[in-house]
Structure formats: structure tokens, C-alpha cells
Amino acid sequence: MPVTWLIPSILLLALIGYWAGRARALAVAGGDTRALHSLPGHHGGHVALFASAPALALLVVWLLTQPFVINGRVAELIPDSANSATGEGPSAALMMSEVRRVAAGLDLAVREGVITAGQADSPRTGADDMRAWLAGVGVALGGETGPWVLPAAQRYRALSATGHLMMTIAVIALSAAGLAGALRRVRPQFRARDVTERAVKAGLFAAASIAILTTLGIVLSLVFNTIEFLRLYPAVDFFFGLTWAPSFGGGSELGILPLLWGTLSISVIALAVATPIGLFAAVYLSEYATPAIRAFAKPLLEVLAGIPTTVYGLFALQIVGPLLVSAFGEGGVLGVTWMGSGTAAMTAGLVLGVMLIPFISSLSDDIINAVPQTLRDGSLSLGATRSETIRQVVLPAALPGIAGAILLAASRAIGETMIVVLGAGAAARLSLNPFEAMTTITAKIVSQLTGDTDFSSPEALVAFALGMTLFVLTLALNALALYIVRTYREQYE
Amino acid sequence: MYDTPLTEADVSTEDAKILARNVQVHYGTTHAIKDVSVAIGDKAVTAFIGPSGCGKSTFLRCLNRMNDTIDACRVRGTILLDGDDIYHRRVDPVQLRARVGMVFQKPNPFPKSVYDNVAYGPRIHGLANSRADLDRIVEKSLRRAALWEEVKDRLSAPGTGLSGGQQQRLCIARAVATEPEVLLMDEPCSALDPIATAQIEDLIYELRDRFSVVIVTHSMQQAARISQKTAFFHLGHLVEFGETGQIFTNPQDPRTESYITGRIG
Ligand SMILES: Nc1ncnc2c1ncn2[C@@H]1O[C@H](COP(=O)(O)OP(=O)(O)O)[C@@H](O)[C@H]1O
Ligand SMILES: [Mg+2]
């Protein structure tokens, strides 16, 4: 039975268990649910749980371990000579995948009726037959396939088939045993509710762990590749190098400082745009706007947050860049020549700032709304005007939250890629002129990993080191945001 | 006798600090205050009593135009402060509120230091010419609120860190710092324990020397202890208004009697 059928079967057993458990609970109680410690539904849930959870766990473990066991057994048939024939012959892993490909081809041939199962598994089958069959179902083999491939593939098929059969039997048996065992435990005093409560807790815990483990996995993959990179490239040159000039031929200079500088410049410009505008918009929306205006303007502002960043990037490239050039560029209205081309830190920063406005305004609006009305009343009743009240009471009370919102926006700015790629250019440059092209860490991560990449070269691995730096940077920002919010809370609550 | 609303004749217009005539308040379609006329004396404590939702807070908030901040609220009728209509077009509610201070049900100190809380009003209205001047106002206000001794060593600590009773006295100090003529208090003790309540009551009793105090309370005993005049509201009507002693010992209206003996609440 394929796995796609096994899982529904277990769930069906669980469903049967649920109804059986319920029915049995009602039966042992003589139809009076008050005689039961737990509700019949809890008993049903308990039986369903024992019918499904252990069986599913076994299924997962089996599926994870079976390939290892089979690979081990099949590897015995792969001659060492294949490895050592030439200096750099195909690795064992490559040969293993060849075996798997042949086995899968045979499966397909049997399924399509080209051959019978007996033919596929017959030891008399020759390599030429095999080649013909596989070609018949559209599986092409590599030019040189050793004679050992076919027996290995046949053993692979046989082992897989038995393994699968054993798994099906074991899983179904475990499911049925769990069902029967749990059903026998149904008594009026049995605390089925506690079992289901614990199951709920375990399920929620598992969900939380997956989120945390994923983060951990991401960090670990970054860490290992970063370490690998730092073995190939000196850390001092990476962290303090003033030039970014990768060349896949070798002799790259991979200094992070120009990228860091670009990231920081663009983020600072973006925040300088987004913070005041976003904050004023939030104050207007929460303190001055009539309900009608608010109902109209708030969703509109939030639509801005839903625009894909690529579209913002196009906007930067097509409109903002040329507009800035016509003001700050050669022959522009201001008569200065600060700006050479449309792609510049300023272009990307401004557009990134526009993208962050709804982010800051929406968060700040919620925070300002959370400031208790009694504080506003207190200030107004002392004869303060509305704007005095906002400046002196509402905003100070909302400040920790607003600071948190700004820092969150800052980590968004640092992590943004598309606007930067399209708006800021690609030149990694340490320049004090924001009207010049710059580039950021994120943009360079993309460009280092696009195209044909050899993942063992420092030019590709540097992407992980850059990613790690980015991760540490945003983590520090978020930690700072939390710290600020906490200290303020302690002070005023 | 009962059900006849108080006529203007019942309201003595002499030495009244606030004179309200035929005040009507609507929240959208809710008619919250129905034709209320009342005279609030100077240098005296007036208590508003009545069951929840009868409009005590609403009427109190009319007296310093705090209802202006509620969009749905419409006030009609006349309210005179020292003979001047406070709802006149030319009256700035912001200045009015400096003359008519307010203390709320729940203590609401600002998230600032004790000092800055008290100095808030004087700073806004430019009442102090120098830092020393401001220090003096803060100290005087805190002394009037009977809080000085407790906080004089921690004026720079956050006002929100004080106990509930201290917070409420801080709010009173904050209100008296702007030297108002009238002090409105909306159930100022309902969030406090008995000891803090007793302290606030003593305080109100003393404040009477300088201010005209209007207090909303749910405690008959409190009204009886600290007020000279009592107004009983019921379903938006001012049912009875008179000397506190007379209201509690010899109420004229059966609704008043039912309320003070605990039959409507
Ligand atoms: N902001 C408001 N919006 C609409 N109706 C209100 C508002 N405030 C009070 N009301 C209504 O006005 C009436 C009087 O309320 P309130 O003055 O708070 O009574 P009290 O203070 O005596 O308990 C109640 O019916 C209440 O529902
Ligand atoms: Mg009230």
C-alpha cells in the first residue's frame, strides 16, 4: 500500500476509534454521562489519539530510516573498483543515485506493462535487455554503466518492496493495537480528558518547536557556510576590507564595508523619510481624523504595504530616479551636478522610505490608540489643547511602542532587496555622496548566488557570510527594540 | 409635589458660582440629561448622587465642556460661570478648563515624574516666571493635596509608581496647581481602599475653603459627610436638590427616599 493510502487508512482507523470510544464510554456509563469522569467525546478523542499518533510516528521514523538500511545493503554490490578505476571516478553517492534511477526505471517499465515483474527481477536479465526496456519508458542511461548496476538495482527493488510491505503491516498493526488497547481502558473513572488535554498541549508544543527548530536550522546552515568561507578567505579582509571586487577567476577582494555602508546609507535615508511621515499620518489618523476619513484612509494606507517591492523598484527606476536627476543632475533645475545617473542611494532610500510609511503608521496608530483615553481627558481637563496633549502626554506614553515600530522598520529596511537592486545600482562604493550609486548586502547576496555557481568557492560562500552579518545586524536591532520597550514599561507601569 | 421638575424659583441665584438653566444633553439619540437647572454655590461642596447611568458624569462634564471632546454629544441650555455663559461662541474651552478643574474616577497620572505631573498645568498656562516659582507652585499644590510629606523625597520618580490613593491625590494636586475656581470630581474614591478614601475625604473637606467643589459619589455616607448641598439625579432628571441634611433626613420626593434607603440603585 503506498504511503498516500496508508495515512488515510490510519485516519480512518482513528475515526472508527473515536466513535467506538464514544459508544463504549456511553455503554459503560449505562447511558448516563454524569457517571463518567470525562465526556464521551474525550474518551473518543483518547482512542482516536492512540489509534493514530503512535502509528504515524512509526511511519515517519520508518520512512526516514529505510533508505539508509537499503543503501547500506545495496552498497555491498557496488564494486570498489568502480571508484578507484580512474583518479576521480564517480563518487559512491553518484553510483547510488544511478542505481536508484535504474530501479525507478524498472518500476516504471513494470507499471506501464513493458515487462512483467518476473522479467524485471529475473537474474538472467542482461544489461542490453535492461537498456532496451528503460529506453522504452523514456529513461536514458549514462554511456558506461557497469554490469553491477542491474543486480544492484534489482536488489534495491526487492528490498524496497519488502521494506514497504513490512512497514504497511507494522503501521496498520500498531494503529489497530493502539485502538484496541485504548478502547479497553475506557472506564467511567478513566481520565480521558487529561489525556486529550495533554495531547493538545503536545501538539501546540510541537508547532512552536518547529518554528524554533527552523530558525535554528537556518542559523546553523549560515554558521557552517560562514565558517567554511572564513577558512578560505581571511576574516580581517572580509570585515575591514574597503573594496568589494569579486571575480570568479580568483584574486577577489571581498570587503564587506562598502556593502555595509550602502545598506546603512539607504536605510538611514529611508527611515528619515518614513519616520516623520508615518508618525504624523498615525497621529492624524488616530487623533484628528473623523471616523469616516479613518475608515477610508487607513485601509488605503495599508494597501501601500501590500504592493510587491519589485513594483516599488520599478517606480524607483522609472520615475524617482529620472526626477532626481532632473533636479540634482547635470543641467538640472538646481544647477548642481551631484547626481550622475538615476540609480543612486537617494533614489532607493526615498522609495524604500515610501514603502515603510504604512509600516510605521499602521503600527504607531495601533500604539497611539492603545494610550488610555483617561490620560487625554486628564490633560484636556487641565486646559491643554489637543496638540499639547498629543505632544506632551500621548506621544511620550506611546514612545516605547513607537521606538519599537521604528526599529522594526529599520530591520525591514536593512533586509530589503528588490528596491535596492533596481534603484540603487550595483556599484559597491564607499561614498559620502548619497546621490551616487551604491549597493547593499542583500543585493550582493543575490548577485553572488545567481547563475552557475560553484558552492565551494569563496566568491559564492561569501554570500553566507554576508547573510550571517545581516542576520546578526537585524537580530541586534530587534533585541534593542525589545530592550527599549521593556525599560520604558518598567518605568511607567 | 413629585414629578414637578425643579423650577428656577427653587434655584437661588445669589452667590452661585455656577448656574445651570434648562440643560439638555443628547448622545446621538440618547437623551441623557433632561431639563436640569441647578445652582452650585461658591466655597462649598455639592454632591451629585443617583443610580448608575442617570447622567451624573454627563452633567458634570458639561460644567467644564469636557463633553466637547465627544463627537456624538450635544448640549443645550445655559450654564453660567460667575454670570458668563460658558457655551458662548467666544469662550475658549481650553481657558475654561483652567478655571474649572477635574479629577476622574480612575487615577490617571501622566507617564511623567511626580513633579512634572503637578507642573503640567502651570507650564501650559505660563503660571510660573521662573524655576523657583514653579517649585513653589508644585510644593504648594502637593501640600494642598496632603501629598507633600509622602513624595517630597521622590519628586523625580514616575507618578505612575505611586499607590492608588497617592496617585489620586497627585491628580488632585495636578488639578489645583492651575488655581481653578471650581473643582469637579467624578467618583474620585471609587477605585480606592477605605484608608485612601478617608484621606481624600479630609482633603475635599479642606479644599472647600478655597474652591467650589462638585463631587459625584455612590456613597451616601460620603455625600453626607463632606457636602453641604446634594443633588439627586434619576434617569436624566434632577429629582431633588437641597441642603444635604435635609435630603438625607427629610427627602421631599419618594424617588429620593427610595434611593437613599437603598430601594433603587
Ligand atoms: N460617550 C457616550 N456616548 C453615548 N452615550 C453615553 C456616553 N456617555 C454616557 N452615555 C449615556 O448617557 C447616560 C448617562 O451616562 P453617565 O453620565 O455616564 O451616567 P452616570 O455617571 O450617572 O453613571 C447613560 O445612559 C449612558 O449610556
Ligand atoms: Mg459616571
Same domain, A142 and A10: yes
Ligand 1, atom 4: nearest CA belongs to which residue?
A: B27
Say yes or no: A346 and A409 in one domain.
Answer: yes
Helix or strand holding residue A412 (H, E): helix A395-415
- Cell numbers placing A412: 525591514
Q: Which among B181, B209, B212, B43 has a CA at the least distance from the CA of B99?
A: B181
Question: Of all helices (H) and strands (E), which one includes residue A72?
Answer: helix A40-75
Give residue A322's Cα distance to chain centre. Answer: 36
B206: closest CA of chain A, how far (Å): 21
Q: What is the pLDDT along chain A (493 residues), one digit of tens a residue?
A: 678 889 999 999 999 999 999 999 999 888 888 888 888 999 999 999 999 999 999 999 999 999 889 888 888 877 765 554 444 445 667 777 778 888 888 888 888 877 887 777 777 777 777 777 777 777 777 655 667 788 888 888 889 989 999 999 999 999 999 999 999 998 888 898 999 999 999 999 999 999 999 999 999 999 999 999 999 899 999 999 888 988 877 778 889 999 999 999 999 999 999 999 999 999 999 999 988 998 998 888 888 888 999 999 999 999 999 999 888 888 778 878 888 888 889 999 999 999 999 989 988 998 898 888 999 999 999 999 999 999 999 998 888 889 888 998 998 999 988 899 888 888 888 888 888 889 999 999 988 888 766 777 888 889 999 999 999 999 998 888 888 777 766 554 4
Q: How close B96 gets to chain A, by Cα (Å)?
A: 7
Q: Are B240 and B224 in contact (CB under 8 A)?
A: no
Provide long-range contacts, Cβ within 8 A and 24+ apart, for A338-341.
A338/A433, A338/A435, A339/A435, A339/A436, A340/A435, A340/A436, A340/A437, A341/A425, A341/A437
Alpha carbon distance A255, A238 (integer Å): 4
Structural domain span for residue A156 = 3-190
Q: Are residues A209 and A276 in the same domain?
A: no
Indicate the residue of A377, A383, A492 with minimum beta-carbon distance to B158: A492
pLDDT(B37) > 70: yes
Same domain assignment for residues A217 and A310: no
Q: Is the CB of B70 under 6 A from ligand 1?
A: yes
Do A51 and A182 touch, CB atoms closer than 8 A? yes
Residue in the structure block whose three cell numbers are 527606476: A317
Q: Which residues of A touch B (CB under 8 A)?
A: 290-291, 372, 374-385, 388, 392-393, 396-397, 491-493
pLDDT score for A277: 96
Of B69, B111, B171, the CB nearest to A396: B111
Number of neighbouring beta carbons within 10 Å of residue A234: 12
| Mutation target vs A (from B57, B62, B66, B69; most A CBs, 10 A cutoff) | B69
Check pocket membership of B56 for ligand 1, CB cut-off 6 A: yes
Q: Read out DSSP for B215-231? A: EE-S-HHHHHHH-SEEE
B27 close to ligand 1 (CB < 6 Angstrom): yes
d(CA A46, CA A53): 10
The answer to whether residue A463 sits within a structural domain is yes
Between B106, B124, B175, which is nearest A388 by CB?
Answer: B124
- Cα torsion angle, A231, A235, A238, A241, sign: negative
Give the residue whose CA is nearest to atom 24 of ligand 1.
Answer: B53
pLDDT of residue B207 exceeding 90, the answer is: no
Whether the predicted pLDDT of B152 surpasses 80: yes
CA B186 to ligand 2 centroid distance, Å: 7
Beta-carbon contacts of B42 under 8 Å, excluding residues fewer than 6 positions away, are: B15, B16, B17, B212
| pLDDT tops 80 at residue B12 | no
Chain A touched by B112 (CB under 8 Å): yes
Residue A370: list chain B partners with CB under 8 A.
Answer: none
Domain boundary at A232, A260, A291, which?
A232
- In-domain check, residue A239: no
**Last-in-domain residue among A202, A232, A262:** A232
3-class secondary-structure state, position A334: coil
Is the Cβ–Cβ distance between B60 and B79 less than 8 Å?
no
pLDDT tier at B1 (50, 70, 90 boundaries)? very low
Report how far residue A235's alpha carbon sits from residue A212's, in angstroms, rounded to the nearest whole number: 29
Residue A86: what pLDDT?
A: 46
**CA of A289: which chain B residue's CA is closest?**
B71
| For A287, nearest residue in chain B (alpha carbons) | B69
**How far does the CA of residue B210 sit from the closest CA of chain A (Å)?**
18
In this complex, how many residue pairs, one in chain A and one in chain B, have their CB atoms less than 8 Å apart?
72
What CATH number does the domain containing A357 carry? Answer: 1.10.3720.10
Nearest Cα neighbor of A406 from A348, A493, A484 is: A484
Tell me, in angstroms, the distance from the centre of ligand 2 to residue A263's CA.
55
CA of A378 to the centre of ligand 1 (A): 18
Tens of pLDDT, residues B229-258:
999 999 999 999 999 999 999 999 999 999
* pLDDT at position B264: 63
Residue A238: inside a domain? no
Whether residue B58 has its Cβ less than 6 Å from ligand 1 = yes
Is the minimum distance from the CB of B55 to ligand 1 under 6 angstroms?
A: yes
Is A150 inside any structural domain? Answer: yes
Give A291 to chain B, closest Cα distance, Å. Answer: 10
Domain identity same for A265 and A221: no
ipTM score for this prediction: 0.89
Greater model confidence, A102 or B151: B151
In this complex, the residue of A291, A382, A492 whose CB is nearest that of residue B174 is A382
Chain B CB contacts of A402 under 8 Å are none
- For chain A, the first-to-last Cα distance in angstroms comes to 62
Identify all chain B residues contacting A379, using CB atoms and an 8 Å cutoff: 110, 120
Q: Ligand 2 centroid vs B161 CA: distance in angstroms?
A: 26
Report if residue A123 sits inside a domain.
yes
How would you label A169-207 residue by residue, b for 16+ Cβ within 10 Å and e otherwise? eebbebbbebbeebbeebebebebbebbeebeeeeeeee
Environment of ion ligand 2 (residues, CB < 5 A): B 57
Maximum alpha-carbon separation in chain A: 102
Q: Do B108 and A374 touch (CB under 8 A)?
A: yes
Q: How confident is the model at residue A90, as a pLDDT?
A: 56
Closest CA relative to residue B181, chosen from B117, B78, B103, B98: B98
Query: How many A from CA of B53 to the centre of ligand 1?
Result: 6
B242 forms bridges with which residues in the sheet? B230
Query: From B121, which residue of chain A is nearest by alpha-carbon distance?
Result: A382
C-alpha cell at position B54? 442617570
Same domain, A36 and A169: yes
Residues A172 and A129 both lie in one domain: yes
> Do A217 and A260 reside in the same domain of the chain?
no
Which pLDDT value is given to residue A1?
Answer: 63
Question: Which positions ≥6 away from B244 have C-beta within 8 Å?
Answer: B47, B223, B224, B227, B228, B229, B230
φ and ψ at B77, to 5 degrees?
105, -175
Number of domains in chain A: 3
Domains of chain B, earliest start first: 8-103+181-260 (3.40.50.300)
Shortest alpha-carbon distance between residue B142 and chain A (Å): 16
- State the Cα torsion A212-A218-A224-A225 to the nearest 10°: -170
Ligand 1 pocket residue status of B18, Cβ below 6 Å: no
What DSSP designation does A140 have? P
At residue B69, does pLDDT exceed 80? yes
CB contact under 8 A, A492 and B111: yes
pLDDT for position A488: 66
CA nearest A156: which of A121, A111, A115, A118? A121
Chain B nearest-CA residue for A396: B111
- Tell whether A64 is covered by a domain: yes
pLDDT attached to residue A143: 56
**A167 occurs within a structural domain:** yes
> B55 CA to middle of ligand 1, Å?
6
Q: What residues in B contact A397, CB-CB < 8 Å?
A: 110-111
Residues A102 and A219 in one domain: no
Shared domain check, A204 and A161: no
Residues A22 and A137 in one domain: yes
Q: Is the CB of B94 under 6 A from ligand 1?
A: no
Pair A296, A261 in one domain: yes
Query: Taking CB atoms and an 8 Å limit, are B178 and A382 in contact across chains?
Result: yes
Considering only CA atoms, which of B87, B65, B74 is closest in space to residue B30?
B74
Work out the number of other CB atoms within 10 angstroms of the CB of residue B218. Answer: 15
Is residue A312 situated within a structural domain? yes
Which positions ≥6 away from B48 have C-beta within 8 Å? Answer: B56, B59, B60, B214, B215, B216, B217, B230, B231, B233
- For residue B97, give the nearest of A375, A383, A397 by CB distance: A383
